[in-house]
């Protein structure tokens, strides 16, 4: 009984380490075979359409609503201290530093990451990847690398669009609906938001999230058991793992970026 | 899908993304941070800087003319050594004075520069000699209470 339990534990450890090594080798192979993604840039552009352009609607609409809710909630709280004019700072800083990169990354993981996993998992299940290998076409160079770079390029653009829409939403609710003074809304925001410290760090965050999400999604798809069940399980794992990875990475990055600020 | 339509959409996406970044950089944040090339630094010593922080504005007549670039503790004089990075467009007389002020009652602290009357201007690396420390609210309240108590004391 005890022996079985320990054997089980050992087995799981070995499998876990093996999987981690496989993921690392896979990631390195993607980076090594990235040449095709740039030489035949049309492939990457095609994937940018599927992961970037098709995510636009959900990103823009959620950004707008997140900004509008921030405007309402922020006003309610700031009003009690008589500093409604600081609403611009609150909306812009929370969006540019945290909400923009993180929420856009979570949406990207569920909208585009799951699609990437399902697509590659199905390609594997229907033996399209093996067929490519038979024709001496490297599936990692032809299928995986363009999707990887498309995700890495799309993510910062989507995060910037999310933040910009959010600021616009906060402006709509704060200035147009509630009636915070427009001049102080923008000027206080501009004096508080720093280009390097806030905006550039937000962009760096979103690039890191883009790498993490697409790498996880591609790996899960490539590693999925070639069955209907296997693909569905891999899709679920993509969303869960990449969301958790985004949140954990966000904490680490924030600790490095903003700890020494004051 | 047609390849040109696809290219068009991705192009629109990239342009929109870059436009959003520009909007964030120019409208939300201010790009006009004073950079090293067109600025000069001067030093000011204070006995107490209160809650002054690096990157706090330096204002003269209410206009931002620079930023606090560094705050150190001078272990020989037991004073705070504050480095101010001022915009090159603004030159101040050598006998200008620096004070640590607070915007509003609870606002952030900044350095206020008042121009003196000297004809020689401050240069890179100069030191501002006349400084005024931050007002510590506790001391002020203490003085006020002490004064009140003396007022009310029987003669």
Q: Please name which of A153, A229, A167 lies closest in space to residue A198, comparing C-alpha atoms.
A: A167
B120 touches chain A (CB under 8 A): no
Contact A164 B53 (CB under 8 A): no
Contact B17 A49 (CB under 8 A): no
Q: Which residues are paired to B93 by β-bridges?
A: B121
Mean pLDDT of A82-108: 91
Least confident residue range of A98-102, A166-170, B69-73: B69-73
Write down the domain spans for chain A: 47-258
Neighbours of B81 (CB within 10 A): 17
Place of tokens 């201290």: A81
Q: What is the pLDDT of residue B32?
A: 53
Write down the domain spans for chain B: 1-31, 39-141
- Reported as a single tens digit per residue, the pLDDT across B18-68 is 999 988 888 877 655 545 568 889 999 999 888 888 778 888 998 888 888
d(C-alpha A178, C-alpha A51), whole Å: 37
| Cβ(B124)–Cβ(B39) below 8 Å | no
- Reported as a single tens digit per residue, the pLDDT across B67-107 is 888 899 989 989 999 999 888 888 899 899 999 988 766 67
Q: Which tokens in the block code for residue A51? A: 């992961």
Contact A195 B18 (CB under 8 A): no
Distance from the Cα of A21 to chain B's closest Cα (Å) equals: 35
- Tell whether the model's pLDDT for residue B153 goes beyond 60: yes
Contact A186 B27 (CB under 8 A): yes
Query: What are the percentages of helix, strand and coil residues in chain B, rounded to 5?
Result: 25, 35, 40
| Cβ(B98)–Cβ(B130) below 8 Å | yes
Neighbours of A196 (CB within 10 A): 10
Mean pLDDT over all residues of chain B?
85
User: Residues near A104 by Cβ (< 8 Å), separated by ≥ 6?
Assistant: A59, A63, A155, A158, A159, A161, A162, A206
Nearest CB to A189 within list B3, B9, B28: B28
Mean pLDDT of A37-54: 89
Q: Please name which of A92, A177, A185, A197 lies closest in space to residue B28, comparing C-alpha atoms.
A: A92
Q: How distant, in Å, are the alpha carbons of A17, A152, A198, A219, B19 from that of A97? A: 35, 19, 6, 29, 18
Q: What is the pLDDT of residue A28?
A: 93
- Tell whether the model's pLDDT for residue A93 goes beyond 60: yes
d(C-alpha A200, C-alpha A194), whole Å: 9
On the 0-12 / 13-18 / 19+ scale of CB atoms within 10 A, B59 is middle
| Selected residues 23-62 of chain B with any CB under 8 Å from a CB in chain A | 23-25, 27-31, 33, 53-55, 57
pLDDT confidence band for B140 (50 / 70 / 90)? confident
A4 touches chain B (CB under 8 A): no
In this prediction the pTM is: 0.77
């Amino acid at each position: 009984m005890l022996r079985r339990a320990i054997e089980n534990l050992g087995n799981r450890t070995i499998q876990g380490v093996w999987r981690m090594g496989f993921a690392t080798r896979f990631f390195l192979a993607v980076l090594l075979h990235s040449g095709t993604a740039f030489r035949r840039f049309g492939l990457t552009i095609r994937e940018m359409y599927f992961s970037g352009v098709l995510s636009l609607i959900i990103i823009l609409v959620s950004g707008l609503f997140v900004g509008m809710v921030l405007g309402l909630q922020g006003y309610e709280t700031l009003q009690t201290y008589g500093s409604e004019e600081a609403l611009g700072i609150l909306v812009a800083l929370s969006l540019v530093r945290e909400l923009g990169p993180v929420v856009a990354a979570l949406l990207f993981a569920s909208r585009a990451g799951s699609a990437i996993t399902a697509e590659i998992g199905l390609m594997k299940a229907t033996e399209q990847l093996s067929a490519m290998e038979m024709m001496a076409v490297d599936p990692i160079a032809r299928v995986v690398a363009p999707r990887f770079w498309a995700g890495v390029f799309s993510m910062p653009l989507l995060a910037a669009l999310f933040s910009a829409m959010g600021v616009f939403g906060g402006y709509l609710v704060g200035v147009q609906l509630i009636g915070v003074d427009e001049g102080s809304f923008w000027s206080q925001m501009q004096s508080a938001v720093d280009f390097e410290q806030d905006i550039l760090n937000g962009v760096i965050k979103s690039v890191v999230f883009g790498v993490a999400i697409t790498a996880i999604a591609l790996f899960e798809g490539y590693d999925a058991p070639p069955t209907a069940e296997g693909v569905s399980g891999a899709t679920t794992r993509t969303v869960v793992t990449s969301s958790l990875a985004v949140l954990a990475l966000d904490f680490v990055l924030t600790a490095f970026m903003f700890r020494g600020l004051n | 899908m047609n390849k040109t339509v696809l290219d068009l959409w991705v192009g629109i996406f990239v342009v929109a993304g870059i436009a959003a970044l520009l909007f964030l950089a120019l409208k939300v944040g201010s790009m006009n941070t004073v950079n090293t090339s067109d600025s000069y630094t001067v030093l000011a010593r204070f006995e107490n800087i209160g809650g002054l922080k690096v990157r706090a504005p330096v204002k003269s007549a209410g206009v931002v003319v620079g930023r606090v670039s560094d705050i150190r503790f001078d272990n020989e004089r037991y004073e705070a050594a504050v480095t101010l990075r001022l915009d090159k467009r603004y030159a101040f007389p050598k006998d200008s004075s620096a004070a640590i002020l607070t915007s509003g009652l609870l606002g952030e602290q900044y350095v206020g520069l008042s121009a003196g009357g000297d004809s020689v201007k401050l240069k890179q690396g100069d030191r501002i000699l006349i400084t005024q420390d931050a007002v510590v609210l506790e001391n002020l309240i203490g003085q006020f209470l002490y004064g009140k108590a003396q007022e009310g004391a029987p003669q």
